[in-house]
Chains A and B, each alone.
Chain A
Amino acid sequence: MSAPRVVVVEDEPRIRRFVCDALRGEGCQPIEAGTARLGLDAVGERDTQLVVLDLGLPDMDGVAFIRELRSWSHVPMLILSARLAEQDKIEALDAGADDYLTKPFGVGELLARVRVLLRRRIGEPQPVYRFGGVEVDLARHVVQRDGNEVHLTQIEYRLLAVLLADAGKVLTNRHLMREVWGSSQADQEHYVRIYVRRLRQKLERDPSRPAHLLTETGVGYRFQP
C-alpha cells in the first residue's frame, strides 16, 4: 500500500512544517495548504486519507470548511484549535470533524490521533470488541467482564454501542444525546454524563480513573480501545 496522503490545512508556516515533518516520519505523504481554498482543492485533486485542519484560518470559517468538505467527502478530519474554544470544537465535531487537538500539542499526541484515524478508515465494523478485560459481543448483545456477564440497561447498552462504533473518535454530548435518546436538548446533556458514569462503574477497573471511557472536558466523551 502506498503512503497515505494527508492534507495539512494550516496558515501558520512553522506549525505546518513541524506537522508535515512528523507525518513524513510516520510514513505519510503530507500535502501543505496555507489557505482553506487550497486545502479543499488539494483534497479534491486526489484520493486523500486524512485532513488536518486548523480551525482559525484567515480566508474561511473552519466549520464552513468542514461542512463544505463533508458535502462531498467522508475523509477523516483532525482539528487543531485553541483552549477555551469549546463551542468551536463542538460545532466542528458536530459538523463532521472526527477528532481535535488543543494547541499547543506535542508530536506524540499528534501521531497517536493520526494513527487512530488512519486505522479507523481501514477497519471494518467488528462484531466483538475487547478492551481491559471486557468483551462486548454486538451480534449476541452480550457484555462480559473478566468472563462474567454484566447486565446493562437498554440505554446503557445503546450508549456503549455508539461509543464503540466510533472508537477513538470524540463524540459530543449533543451527538450522543441524539444517537442514544433520539433528541438533543442542551438542558438534557447531564443524561449522557450520568449514563457514562454508570457504564464506567460497570465496566472500568477504576471508575474514577477510567482507561477506556474517557472524558473530553467541555466537549464530550471518547472510547479508547
Chain B
Amino acid sequence: MPAFRSRRGHAVAIVLCALTTLVALPLRGWLDQANIVMLFLLTVFFVAVRLGRGPAVLAAFLSVGLFDVFFVPPHYSFTVADAQYLVTFAVMLAVGLITTHLTAQLAERRVAAQARERETRALYELARDLGATLTFHQAAEVLDRHLVSLGMKSKLLIAESLDQAAELTAYGALRLGPADLTLARCAFDGRRIFEDYAIVCLPFAGVTRLRGVLVVAPTERAKSLPAGLLDAAASLAGITVERIHYTEVAQRSEVDIRTEKLRSGILSSISHDLRTPLTSLVGLADTLADPDQTDRNAEHAAIIRDQAHAMHGMVTNLLDMARLQAGGAVLNLQWQPFEDIVDSSTRLLADILAQRRLVVDLPADLPLLRFDAVLLERVLCNLLENAVKYSEPGATISLAAAVRSDRFEVGIANEGAGFPVGRLEEVFEIFVRGAQEPAAPGTGIGLAVCKAIVTAHGGSIVAENEPSIARVRFTLPLGTPPSVEGEPA
C-alpha cells in the first residue's frame, strides 16, 4: 500500500509539473521569466504539502529541467545561452528543496503527533477498561480487544502461584505453539523482552513480583509494533493482574472467616447436642449398675435405648450432611414407586408414630420417580420425626403426595403450634430450631439434611403454616419413567 501510494504521488507530481508547463507555455511571450519560476515554485510547494517529501523533490528537479527546456532560450534544449540563468536554476532548486523539506517536516510532525495521540488515547482506554475487570479472563479479553484494534493479537500468560518455576496459565485468543511458549518462558525467566519474527514477549510485573508475560503478534495489517505502547500495555497488564490477584485473596479470606464462624457454631452445637444425651446415658447406666437401686431398672433401660436411638438419628443426619456437602456424594438414582419409601419409613418409625394418628394419602396411579431410596427415606423419616416432635400425643399427622403439572409434590403436616412466624426460610438452615426447643430433643440438622437431599435430587422444599397446622412440602422432578412392556392378562 505505501509503495503504491508513493508511486502514485510521483506520477501526480510529474503530471502537475507537465500541466504547469502547458499552462505557462502560451504565456511565454507575455510573462516575465521570474513569474514563470514562481508558477513552478508554487507547483513544488503544492506537491510538498499534498504528496510528501519524495514527489516534492522530484517536482523540484523536474521544474528546474522543464523551466530550462521550455522557457530559457534557446528553447527546447538544455543548453543555456546566458550563464546567469545558472544562478536562477540554483536558487529555484534551493527554494524548491527547502520548501519541500520544511513542509514535509511539518507534515511528518503532524502525523507523528496524531499517532502519539492515538496511542495515548488507546492506552487511556485500555487502562480504563482493565480497571473494570474482575478476572484474568476478562483482563485478557480486554487486552486482546484493544490490541486487535491496533493491529495485534495477544495472549496473557500469568504466573498464578507463588512458585516462580510453576507453569504459566494462558488466557486470550492468540494461538501459541510450543516454540512460542518456550520464548515466553525465556522472557519470564530472563525478565526481559524476547522477540522473533512472529511474536514479541513482554514480561510484566506488579508491585510485589513478576506476574507474567504478554505475548503479542502483529496481524497482517501492521508490520511494525509500536514499542512504547507495548511496554505501557505490559505494565498495565502487570498492575491489573496484581490487582485481580489481591482482590481474590481478599474475597477468599472473607469467605474463610465466614466459613470459620459457621464451623465453630456447628461444632459447639454438635458438641452440646451429643454431650447432653451422653450425659444422661452415663448417669442412667450408673444407676443401673448400682445394686441398691433396682426398682426402676426397666424404665431406665428404656430411656437409655431411646437416647441411643436419638443419637443414632443425629449421627446419621450428620454423616448424610457431611457426605452431601463434601459434594462427592453420588446419588443411587433408580426408577421406583414413591410408596416403597413411605412403606419403609413408616415402618422404621412405627414406635414413635404409634402415639399419633398417621393419615397417608397416596393416589394409586403415581408414576415411577427417579430417586435415591436410602436418602429420600431419610427425608421422610426426618419430616415424620419432626411432625411427632412438634405435636401432642393423639394429634393427626398427614402424608400426602400428588402430581402437580410438571413435578411430584409431597406434603407432610402435623397439628401443632407451627413453625416460628417469620422464620420459615431459616428452619432449613443448619442448626436453626423452632421456639419451643428445650422441650424437644434433637439437633437442628434434620431439615437442613432434608433440604440438601431434596436439592441434590433437583427438587425444592418449603415450610408453611396454616392455622394450628405445620406443613413441609417438597417436590421432585417427574422425568420420563422407563416403559414397561405389558403382558397378556
Contacts and interface: CB of A to CB of B under 8 A. Distances in A.
Interface of A: 83-84, 86, 104, 106, 151, 153-155, 187, 189-191, 193-194, 197, 200-201, 206-210, 214-218
B484 A190 contact: yes
B368 interface: yes
B364 A83 contact: no
B234 to A, nearest CB: 55
B426 interface: no
B308 interface: yes
Q: How large is the interface on B (under 10, 10 to 19, 20 to 34, 35 or more residues)?
A: 20 to 34
Closest 3 CB pairs of A and B: A215-B340, A190-B335, A208-B362
B343 A153 contact: no
Contacts of B489: 151, 153
Interface in B80-100: none
Contacts of A187: 482
28 contacts: A83-B374, A84-B319, A86-B332, A155-B487, A190-B335, A190-B336, A190-B482, A191-B484, A193-B335, A194-B337, A194-B368, A206-B360, A207-B364, A208-B343, A208-B360, A208-B362, A209-B342, A209-B360, A214-B343, A214-B344, A215-B343, A215-B344, A217-B341, A217-B344, A218-B332, A218-B372, A218-B373, A218-B374
A189 B334 contact: yes
Contacts of B275: none
A84 B374 contact: yes
A134 B305 CA distance: 37
B488 interface: yes
B487 A209 contact: no
B336 A104 contact: no
A190 B483 CA distance: 9
Contacts of B368: 190, 193-194
Contact of A104 (B312, B339, B342, B487): B312
B219 interface: no
Nearest to B489: A153
A178 to B, nearest CB: 17
Contacts of B344: 214-217
Given A104-B308, A153-B489, A190-B368, A209 B346 contact: yes
Contacts of A200: 339
